[in-house]
Amino acid sequence: MLDLIPTHFTALLPHAARLALLGFGAAWVALLVHELGHAIGASATGVRLWGIRLGTGPVVYEGPIGSLHLRLAWLPLGGTIQLLDADAHEIGYRDVYQRVWRFTWVPGAWRAPLISAAGPLTSLAVAAIFTAAYVLLAPAGHPGAMLRWSALANLAGWLNLIPLGPSDGLHVLRHLAAFRAPA
């Protein structure tokens, strides 16, 4: 039966599996960096977190990690930080439900667009760091595949600034649209 499979195909299978694993690992690095960027942005502006959701699909872990609630799913597609209700209300969020919310500009609301932009901006910064590390290390014979994949995955974080769908860019746009200059 194995004689029917071309030898060049069987030689590619391990390489394809390695590429898939590298891509999967790089996507997790990118998602984690992105959501940590939001979390750091919230913390830096004095907004407390209730939890973090990472990934989609079957849930691998759901429960406390320190004072945070973590929901970790299998596939590295999508994530959110969840603010404490009182802090979310304080910075202008209203009627917060999953993927449905209103935003009102209130004193202190300036923090919301910063938190929304912090994830993609962190992704871009990390992409620059991974790219620089690859440029510096690859010529010296160091393995650069994970660095290269992570740079690309984090660079894709800028796409999240495009105001389409449930993106950070749409959140920033909605925050700024609610802005009312003091009279």
Domain ranges of the chain: 15-47+84-177
By CB neighbour count within 10 A (0-12 exposed, 13-18 middle, 19+ buried), where does 120 fall? Answer: buried
Cα–Cα distance for residue pair 173/156, rounded to 1 Å: 19
Question: Among the ranges 57-66, 77-86, 128-137, which has the highest mean pLDDT value?
Answer: 57-66
DSSP codes joined into one string, 23-56? HHHHHHHHHHHHHHHHHHHHHHTTPPEEEEEEEE
Predicted pLDDT of residue 44:
97
Q: Can you tell me which residue has the tokens 């390695």?
A: 18
pLDDT digits (tens, 9 = 90+) for 86-117: 999 999 988 766 566 788 899 999 999 999 99
Cα–Cα distance for residue pair 35/152, rounded to 1 Å: 17
Query: Higher pLDDT residue, 157 or 80?
Result: 80
pLDDT digits (tens, 9 = 90+) for 142-170: 666 666 777 777 777 777 888 887 789 88
Is the confidence at residue 18, as pLDDT, over 50?
A: yes
pTM: 0.82
Is the confidence at residue 2, as pLDDT, over 50?
A: no
pLDDT band for position 35 (50/70/90)? Answer: very high
For the beta carbon of residue 171, count every other beta carbon within 10 angstroms. 21
